Each structure stands twice: as C-alpha cells, then as structure tokens.
Amino acid sequence: MSVPAAYLAVIAIWSTTPLAIKWSSDGPSFIAGVTSRMLIGTVICLLLVKLLRVALPWHRQAVQAYMAGSLAVFAGMLSVYWGAQYIDSGLVALLFGLSPLATTIIAVIMGTETRPGSMKLLGIITALGGLFCVVSLGTANATSSAYALYGIIAVFVAMLFHSVSTVLVKQVGKELSALSMTTGSLLVSMPLYLLVWLVVDGSIPEEIPMRAVGSIVYLGVFGSVLGYMFYFYTLRHVSASNVVLITLITPVTALLIGQAFNGEEVTATVWFGTALIILGLSIHQWGNQLRLKPA
C-alpha cells in the first residue's frame, strides 16, 4: 500500500471519528452505540485473522498485552462515548490531541523514559494552558452546558487511559502484529461491553436513524479496524516525528468538520486554546531542534 495514502487515511479517519461517535448515539444509547461498534470490529478482525492466517497467541505475555490494549479499547472508548454526549466533536479531537504529551509524562512516571528537558516541559505547560482556555471558557460552546465540564473530564480521562495503554503495550506487546494486537484487545473488551450494556441498558432500540446506523458501521469498520492497521503501517514506514504531525492536524480538521456537518459553533476562545495546544505539541516534539548549537 502507498505510505502517503495510509498516512492520509489515518488523518481522515481520526478527523471524522469524533463526529461519528456523536452521530452513533443519536437514537440508541451511548453504550449500545459503542458496543455495536466494537462487535462489528471484533467480527471483522476475526475474519481477517482467519483469512490472512495471522497468529493470535494466548500465552501470558500476549494476554498481558491484550489487557493493556483493552484500557484504550474498553475503558477509554467507554469514557469518550459518555463524554461525547455533552461536548462538541471538535473538543473530543482536541482533548485527544494531548495524548503525545500525556504519554510522555506517564512514561516518565513509569520509568520507561527519562525526564523531559526544558523545551519539552515548556511545550507541556503551553499545551496545558491551551487546555485551560478550552475548559474554563469554552464549555459554553458545548452541546449541554450543564454537563459540559463533566463531558470534558470524561474525554480527558479517556485520553489518559489511551496514553497509559500506549505505554504498556509498547512494553509487553512488541512482538505482536497490529492485527493480533487489535483482535486480542477487542476479544478481551467485548465481554465487558456486553456486561455494561446489560446492566446500563439491556434493550435493543426498535428504530435507529440511518445516520446512527451508518456511523456505527463506519466506526466498526474504519475506526476499530482499518484506522489502527493504517496507523501501525504508517508507523513502520514513517519517522516518529512525522507521525506526530497527525495529532497536530486532526484537532483542527475535526473542529472544521464538526462546524461544517454538525453546525457546531467554534468560538474564538476554543480556536485560541487549540492554537496553544498545537504550539505546545510542536515545542514538545521539535523544540530541542530549535536551540542554537554552541559554536
């Protein structure tokens, strides 16, 4: 596959996923929407494993890797689906754009990376300043102002789950293929999703809007399967610094998509916070290269 095509596919999928999450809960409950999505993704992954004859090991280290992956697939997705009910899709993408910073901090705490230097710290502080602008002044732009702060907190927690999962998977899942990792994580997560659905909802909607059906199918096929496969493919062929550019692009494109297709009003405060977050990510990733070398 063309590497540029895979790169652009990741940007397109990650940019449209937040809005698709909101639309998938337009009719069915949020837990029914995410459970349906993961069920579709699990079936597709199992079919791909069978057709491509990919190994799906269940030894101790593999199970540990799948459980680490389920932190993002189950805990992270459950949180983001709940929070997405109360905030605009652009804010969801914006909060997830902080994942490279969160991953660095978590890796340092867990001892897998060294303490960041002054430029990386400056980038973290700048991005957190942008987050503060969005949270403190941008909640009025959310779908439901009464629960906007709770929605932002839920998506922020989801981003932290995703970051912790990333660090753990890098430790214990290095030898597993992207398809094996995705399939195993989904298989571990599906019983948990079904249990939560039975406890929280337990009912099948009699009528689901076509937009919600299309969103669930799109998320099951692209968000849960192809998005991860394109991402890991890109990661193998493109430098890490260029992959990070995806997290700088998708918050902006997601804001524009939400504004164009869902009528989401993006205030000047949110744009200012977005600019600070992107600036912080840029300083964090490339700040050390801007330093003047001693003569």
Print pLDDT tens along the chain (295 aa).
688 888 899 889 989 999 999 999 888 889 999 999 999 999 999 999 999 999 999 999 999 999 999 999 999 999 999 999 888 888 888 888 888 778 888 888 888 777 777 787 788 788 788 877 776 655 544 445 567 888 989 999 999 998 899 888 888 887 888 889 889 999 999 999 999 999 998 888 778 899 999 999 999 999 888 887 787 777 667 765 566 677 778 888 888 898 899 988 777 877 888 888 888 878 877 776 665 455 4
Q: Check residue 243 and give its pLDDT.
A: 66
Q: Check residue 142 and give its pLDDT.
A: 46
Which two three-digit tokens encode residue 248? Answer: 């700088």
Rounded to two decimals, the pTM is 0.84
- Give CA–CA dist 70/184, Å, rounded: 9
Q: Is 253 helix (H, G, I), strand (E, B) or coil?
A: helix
Q: Check residue 295 and give its pLDDT.
A: 45
- Give CA–CA dist 72/166, Å, rounded: 8
| Domain locations in the chain as residue ranges | 3-286
User: According to DSSP H, which parts of the chain are helical?
Assistant: 3-24, 30-52, 60-70, 77-83, 89-96, 99-109, 118-137, 148-172, 178-200, 210-218, 227-237, 240-262, 268-290
Q: Check residue 115 and give its pLDDT.
A: 75
How many of the other CB atoms lie within 10 Å of CB of 287?
Answer: 19
Q: Check residue 177 and give its pLDDT.
A: 85
Q: Check residue 136 and give its pLDDT.
A: 64
